């Protein structure tokens, strides 16, 4: 039995009402998720620097035997274990995540220990952004309008980084991200006919292009 076996339809909290169709379903690429959400490369670089520093310090004091390299070896081992654990967490997060786009909503089925479904009606999605990477994966932050309240910790890692006060749900490390973002944008246009493609914005982390924006009230 998998985590989806108890669901009437994988990724959805129940059977869709009449007239609602599933347009797309997908999960994060766990390797891209490890790099971008769990920062495995940064952690690996940090421990590599510590190991080199320990080796340099041992060399400065003089290396008389293997015992003088214990500090550097322990640092390297801790770093390897830490990076391995982060990769395991990323794999688990990707395995238990299923994003769903229907004709009426976006659903985030997330959570390793406590699985939950977050329903985002298309009528409440004010903007869809895309940060695409060279490998074709990408992140898609969604701007939710109205009084729809979401908690940052409840969403993480499926939340745009550093938007803690006004959290933005985000589809993380999605393969073929440009194609998926275009599909979400076209689907949002069926609910917001006056919506439009918007100009790009730039964040501190990566370029983020807005692929859909709901028309502002006059």
Going residue by residue through the chain (218 aa), what tens digit of pLDDT does each one get?
344 556 678 888 888 899 999 999 999 999 999 999 999 999 999 999 999 998 888 777 777 666 767 788 899 999 999 999 999 999 999 999 999 999 999 999 999 888 899 999 999 998 899 999 999 999 999 988 877 778 899 899 999 998 888 899 999 999 999 999 989 988 988 887 766 654 433 333 455 566 667 655 43
* 194 occurs within a structural domain: yes
* 74 occurs within a structural domain: no
Can you give the residue range of the structural domain that contains 191? 114-213
State the pLDDT at residue 217: 41
Count of domains forming the chain:
1
* 97 occurs within a structural domain: no
3-state secondary structure 148-205: CCCCHHHHCCCECCCCCCCCCEEEEEECCHHHHHHHHHHHHHHHCCCCECCCCEECCC
- pTM of this structure: 0.84
Half-sphere exposure of 200 (CA within 13 A, CB side): 9
* 144 occurs within a structural domain: yes
* 209 occurs within a structural domain: yes
Determine the Cα–Cα distance for residues 193 and 215; give it in Å rounded to an integer.
9
Determine the Cα–Cα distance for residues 189 and 168; give it in Å rounded to an integer.
20
Q: Is 92 helix (H, G, I), strand (E, B) or coil?
A: helix
* 196 occurs within a structural domain: yes
**What residues form DSSP beta bridges with 171?**
140
Half-sphere exposure of 24 (CA within 13 A, CB side): 21
Determine the Cα–Cα distance for residues 122 and 14; give it in Å rounded to an integer.
18
* 149 occurs within a structural domain: yes
Determine the Cα–Cα distance for residues 127 and 101; give it in Å rounded to an integer.
15
DSSP-H helix ranges across 62-136: 70-95
- CA distance to 7, 41, 50, 114, 177, per residue, from 110 (Å): 13, 24, 35, 8, 19
Q: How many residues does the chain have?
A: 218
* 24 occurs within a structural domain: no
């Amino acid at each position: 039995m998998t985590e989806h076996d108890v669901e009437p339809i994988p990724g959805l909290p129940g059977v869709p009402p009449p007239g609602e169709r599933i347009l797309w379903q997908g999960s994060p690429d766990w390797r891209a998720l490890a790099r971008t959400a769990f920062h495995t490369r940064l952690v690996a670089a940090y421990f590599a620097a510590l190991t080199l520093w320990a080796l340099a310090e041992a060399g400065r004091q003089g290396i008389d035997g293997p015992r003088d390299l214990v500090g550097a070896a322990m640092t390297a081992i801790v770093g390897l274990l830490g990076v391995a654990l982060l990769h395991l967490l990323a794999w688990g997060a990707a395995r238990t995540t299923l994003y769903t786009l229907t004709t009426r909503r976006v659903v985030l089925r997330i959570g390793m220990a406590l699985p939950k479904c977050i329903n985002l009606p298309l009528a409440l999605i004010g903007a869809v952004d895309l940060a695409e990477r060279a490998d074709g994966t990408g992140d898609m932050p969604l701007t939710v309008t109205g009084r729809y309240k979401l908690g940052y910790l409840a969403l993480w890692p499926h939340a745009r980084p550093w938007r803690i006060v006004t959290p933005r749900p985000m589809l993380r490390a999605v393969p073929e991200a440009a194609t998926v973002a275009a599909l979400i944008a076209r689907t949002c246009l069926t609910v917001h006919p006056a919506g439009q493609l918007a100009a790009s914005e730039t964040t501190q982390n990566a370029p983020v292009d807005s692929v859909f924006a709901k028309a502002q009230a006059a």
